[in-house]
Chains A and B, each alone.
Chain A
Amino acid sequence: MSVPGTFRGRILLWSALAFTGFLVIAVVIPLVIRSVRLNSQPERTTASDIVMQNATKLAVEATAAAFPAAEVGAMDIKPLGENEAAQTPEATAYAPVLGAQAAGAGAIVEVQPPFPASLYRIQNAWLYDDEQGTRRTFAWAGSETRQGEPEPGVIIIQVYVKGSNDLEPQTEVYPAPEGIGPLKVISAEGMRLSLESAQGQVVLFDIAERLYLTE
């Protein structure tokens, strides 16, 4: 008699387990998912919200595009503001760059390049100031952007002369030797840069000669 009793007990146990599973799957999990979604989405966007947002957008666009008519008889020249009169003149020499990592005759920096990523993906740069601090040379290292294709390495040299060519620095582009991918400056010795490609190849570039070198 003990066997059927045990069997009935097991059926009850299985049923209880299945019912608990049912409760967890059918009730608890949906409730948890719902509460997480509600918490992460405090405001529910409705169709009318979207229409309102799109209409608002067009109104803002129209305002941004509109220019008021010129005021008749207005004086043309504005008086000089206090901030304009009190401006401090710019330094005549380049200051050392904070946070730059000394390398050879210059330093390695990671700053925004004046090139868009649509043209060049720049990894970092090496910069060098002459003794007077009025001439700064950048060597930007990276790759030419080729959407969806292997990107060839490149070095772009820029020379800024303080107060002379601020709006149009001298710029030269030096494509890396065939088969070398995106470059990054890793060290320098004097004016000679060591660059590592994304594939682990090391190439040298002489800033003074503007030449890639073989070791």
Chain B
Amino acid sequence: MNPDYPRKTRCVQRSPLHLVIPLVLCAGTLVLLVSCAIPAHLERTVADIKARMLPDSGTPVQSGVSASALLNRLFLPLVRYDSPVYLPYVKKDVPTPTPTSTPTSTPTHTPTRTPTPTFTPRPVGYPPPYSTSYYLSTTNYDTLYRLGQSVGASILPAQDVIIFLDFGQPWYENGSWGSIIFGSLEFRSISQLTTAVQAFCRGYYINSPTDAHLTLAIGTSNYGRSYEFVSHEHGVAWAQMVNWLNTWIGSPPSWASKIKIAGAIDAEPGWNTAGRTRAWAEGFDSAISSGVYYNFGSCDSCPFAACPTCRILNGWTYEDIWYISWGVRTAFTVPEIYLVSGVNADQWHRVSLYAWNAHGQAIRYSGAMTQYVSCQQKGCTTNTPSQGWLQLFDYLNSDPRTAYTPRWSTDIRW
């Protein structure tokens, strides 16, 4: 290089090729990328559309889907992995990718309908008679036996109820899985819990009508801020307890025509991570041979009409809520519908709508849980059992995609 050659002059003398060649190459790169990426997205989109167009019977719907409806489906959130995958060419006028659409009609929450005093087939939209569920602070055999007796005596002929016995947070001690019961905060092993449930069943069986049906859900929770006992292993142990109890119920003389045992978990986003809660659910599902589990938790901080951008606590997503409430093969849900404003029912309706959009099937909630009796004496304001059930029913049935009639209503006492 000639050191005397002015630098400025050298730049001026550069050929336009200096810019053109890299530009052409970059343009080629872009073309190649676009041609690779779009077909992949389209392939997934078409697969999802096909999935959504297939009804539960598995017969493809060939008619009745207009071009605009088909177009609208293109803009639904596509769930392929654990989180939604959105198409890169979503139209600007699509309001939001999250399933926050509000019910088409505003549900009314005036509790004008009351539970029927005796068990008769209910007209659609009328709440079922509610049962009472319990947070337990004892596993004393006699206490549980007497509790079973009193519950059995309160059941109407041919009534179908679910009762939750909540034994508290998961725990592991002295080589055994179990839980920390309320009040005494003492550890109870799976074996001790099993015996307590047997006592309840004996008391219930003796005092209940012969044609009544009880689903007894044995509850724990996903609570565990500092401990890792909410785990796959605990789920397995809980399922094994349910298996053993159902085998015992079915052994001669069989009580299976009156009592069915299920697992249950009070899964609250504020209490633990989605990962640990999912692990518990998967553990339960992997070990259960006869029975299911019911999530009687909350959708705390989930979006609702007045707060469509609310974020679920602890980084949970709709997918997590759906997964532990319905996505797992043996998962069912009796959601907490406490707030008189209808917010809880709204939140759970949105989860169901998400399920419909993302997985082609709305959640069929098994019932509604309230906490009226305890609250009434303590000064807090909460839904009555019929109010809670009606709120959930109204929200679900305000939208044909999520329409369903929950089977049960239960009120939990603290």
Q: Which residues does A use to contact B, with CB under 8 Å?
A: 2-3, 6-7, 10-11, 14-15, 17-19, 21-22, 25-26, 30, 37, 40-41, 45-47, 50-51, 53-58, 60-61, 64-65, 67-71, 74-78, 81, 83-84, 87, 89-91, 94-95, 97, 109-112, 114-119, 121, 127, 136, 144-145, 147-148, 156, 158, 160, 162-163, 166-169, 171-173
- CB-based contact B184/A2 at 8 Å: no
- Interface-lining segment among B87-95, B100-108, B298-306, B394-402: B298-306
Of A50, A89, A160, the residue contacting B360 (CB under 8 A) is A50
- CB-based contact A3/B5 at 8 Å: yes
- CB-based contact B329/A56 at 8 Å: yes
What B residues does A45 contact at CB under 8 A?
80
CB of B413 within 8 Å of the partner chain? yes
- CB-based contact B185/A171 at 8 Å: no
CB of B18 within 8 Å of the partner chain? yes
Given contacts A83-B195, A116-B338, A67 and B258 within 8 Å (CB-CB): yes
Most chain B CB inside 10 Å of its own CB: which residue of A55, A61, A112, A173: A112
CB of B287 within 8 Å of the partner chain? no
Of A30, A47, A121, A160, the residue contacting B33 (CB under 8 A) is A30
What A residues does B172 contact at CB under 8 A?
none
CB of B186 within 8 Å of the partner chain? yes
CB of B364 within 8 Å of the partner chain? yes
Query: Which A-B residue pairs are the 6 nearest by beta carbons?
Result: A148-B307, A112-B223, A70-B257, A47-B51, A166-B138, A75-B253
What A residues does B248 contact at CB under 8 A?
78, 81
Minimal Cβ-Cβ distance residue in A for B341: A147
CB of B243 within 8 Å of the partner chain? no
A210 to chain B, nearest CB (A): 13
- CB-based contact A169/B257 at 8 Å: no
What A residues does B202 contact at CB under 8 A?
78
What B residues does A158 contact at CB under 8 A?
183, 414
Most chain A CB inside 10 Å of its own CB: which residue of B184, B360, B407: B184
What A residues does B251 contact at CB under 8 A?
78
Once bound together, how far apart are the Cα atoms of A162 and B301, in whole Å? 36
B336 to chain A, nearest CB (A): 5
Of A78, A110, A118, A173, the residue contacting B336 (CB under 8 A) is A118
Given contacts A64-B262, A166-B138, A160 and B184 within 8 Å (CB-CB): yes
8 inter-chain pairs at a CB distance below 8 angstroms, sorted by A residue, are A30-B33, A50-B359, A51-B58, A111-B169, A118-B336, A147-B310, A166-B183, A172-B379
What A residues does B25 contact at CB under 8 A?
15, 18-19, 21-22
Which residues of B in the span 1-19 have a Cβ within 8 Å of any Cβ on A?
A: 1-2, 5, 10, 13-15, 17-18
Minimal Cβ-Cβ distance residue in A for B358: A50
A19 to chain B, nearest CB (A): 6
B contact residues, range: 35 or more
- CB-based contact B47/A163 at 8 Å: no
What B residues does A163 contact at CB under 8 A?
138, 140
- Interface-lining segment among B69-77, B117-125, B263-271: B263-271
Once bound together, how far apart are the Cα atoms of A144 and B306, in whole Å? 18
- CB-based contact B1/A90 at 8 Å: no
Once bound together, how far apart are the Cα atoms of A123 and B260, in whole Å? 36
What A residues does B149 contact at CB under 8 A?
none
- CB-based contact B15/A60 at 8 Å: no
Once bound together, how far apart are the Cα atoms of A58 and B292, in whole Å? 12
Which residues of B in the span 320-372 have a Cβ within 8 Å of any Cβ on A?
A: 326, 329-330, 332, 336, 338-339, 343-344, 347, 359-361, 364, 371
- CB-based contact B47/A46 at 8 Å: yes
A141 to chain B, nearest CB (A): 14
Of B21, B138, B266, the residue contacting A14 (CB under 8 A) is B21
CB of B180 within 8 Å of the partner chain? yes
Of B141, B300, B360, the residue contacting A118 (CB under 8 A) is B300
Given contacts A83-B194, A148-B304, A162-B184, A14 and B22 within 8 Å (CB-CB): yes
Once bound together, how far apart are the Cα atoms of A172 and B56, in whole Å? 49
Once bound together, how far apart are the Cα atoms of A167 and B262, in whole Å? 21
Given contacts A64-B332, A68-B256, A11 and B10 within 8 Å (CB-CB): no
What B residues does A81 contact at CB under 8 A?
198, 248
CB of B291 within 8 Å of the partner chain? yes
- CB-based contact A74/B32 at 8 Å: no
What A residues does B176 contact at CB under 8 A?
none
Given contacts A7-B14, A26-B33, A116-B298, A110 and B226 within 8 Å (CB-CB): yes
Once bound together, how far apart are the Cα atoms of A70 and B5, in whole Å? 105
Minimal Cβ-Cβ distance residue in A for B168: A112
A45 to chain B, nearest CB (A): 7
Given contacts A114-B414, A147-B301, A84 and B199 within 8 Å (CB-CB): yes
Minimal Cβ-Cβ distance residue in A for B355: A54
- CB-based contact A147/B339 at 8 Å: yes
- CB-based contact B54/A51 at 8 Å: yes
What B residues does A156 contact at CB under 8 A?
378
What B residues does A61 contact at CB under 8 A?
332, 364
CB of B38 within 8 Å of the partner chain? no
What B residues does A70 contact at CB under 8 A?
210, 257-258
- CB-based contact B268/A117 at 8 Å: yes
